[in-house]
Homo-oligomer: A and B are copies of this chain.
């Protein structure tokens, strides 16, 4: 018998038929003798409707009231799933964040979980009752409902798994696992059986939208084993009764020690939502970087890659960096305003770029991965506009037109193609 946390997102509980399918997955696990805590999101689209209403009510609104309104979506799903489970003969009850309780800080709308009190849940799980938990919500120090921000249900699930000391946290989603690359771009991409937390973190923050970065961080800190798998499979999937379906499909996100044969490169990710800003003829003097990035930081604009070209005359240089594409207009306006203070000739913005990244724990012990990458791209005539690296990742900024070509080239280069 294992203690499992199972998490189902909005598309998995979009209507009653799908909630029934979710209940089938849960029943499979309880039939196999497992104790289950199930974390659910709101029905797909419902949260957006509620958010829209709060916006229509007032553009600037009290985040505490926003939380009261928006958390209603998960409350509804949790009750409906409990009803359906009971109708299938599975003991179950719903839990709101304030009932468990899931204590958070006071940052309404984007709260962080401080503590989950697990005793009562454990007691009931122990006697075979399924806990259906409304995800995305908690209770603040002011005794009011808080929400955890977008994708918060993943975080709820991991936090509940950590508090319960669960054997595994199964994240049911609309894809069947983590792939070596986006299968829409690389048809020969392969599903990974296992991936380390560190690699998953890079994947998540680099555009593979399967898991929220925050939930992966939390899982890494508390060593919660995450299994990513599809909720659209039929619950029994044609396996013999009692078979561990979840463990036999999907991708396990786990400690790197659990991964015996470590690949040098585990996957290729790309992000299209970046924009490039170039400042021409910037005065090459001490403090100029601060004068550029200070105002951007004050305007809450995150800067990612930065490249400064070598100054030819020792007086003027060019500076290129990337921001989220949604921040581009704002960034240009901020720089225009600070033009005199910074001292530059011209500013240019472009969204026709893409960031392609090669990720792998194995890079730590293998030299030459970057050199191979740059060589392969140049052979295809792809110009690299900027580079950034970490211990387990190399990212390059290239012309958006070459995105697919670059991803496929690198996927083959590191021998990730399936057959």
Contacts and interface: CB of A to CB of B under 8 A. Distances in A.
Contacts of A67: 79
Contacts of A87: 57-58, 60-61
Interface string A137-149: 0000001110000
Given A86-B62, A99-B143, A57 B72 contact: no
Nearest to A77: B69
Interface in A42-96: 50, 53-54, 56-58, 60-62, 64-69, 71-73, 75-76, 78-80, 82-84, 86-87, 93-94, 96
Contacts of A178: none
Contacts of A64: 93
A374 interface: no
Nearest to A54: B83
A179 to B, nearest CB: 35
A16 interface: yes
Number of chain A interface residues as a range: 35 or more
A75 B73 CA distance: 10
A314 B304 CA distance: 101
- Give the dominant DSSP class at A's interface: helix
A19 interface: yes
Contact of A83 (B58, B143, B144): B58
A98 interface: yes
Contacts of A50: 76
* A71, A75, A78 — most chain B CB neighbours (10 Å): A75
A71 B72 CA distance: 9
A87 B64 CA distance: 14
Contacts of A57: 16, 19, 80, 83-84, 87
B83 A66 contact: yes
A53 B13 CA distance: 13
B53 A76 contact: yes
A2 to B, nearest CB: 26
A77 to B, nearest CB: 9
A98 to B, nearest CB: 7
A62 B82 contact: yes
A131 to B, nearest CB: 13
Nearest to A134: B68
Contacts of A82: 62, 65, 68
Contacts of A68: 75-76, 78-79, 82, 94, 96
A79 B65 CA distance: 5
Contacts of A79: 54, 65-69
Interface of A: 16, 19, 50, 53-54, 56-58, 60-62, 64-69, 71-73, 75-76, 78-80, 82-84, 86-87, 93-94, 96, 98-99, 143-145
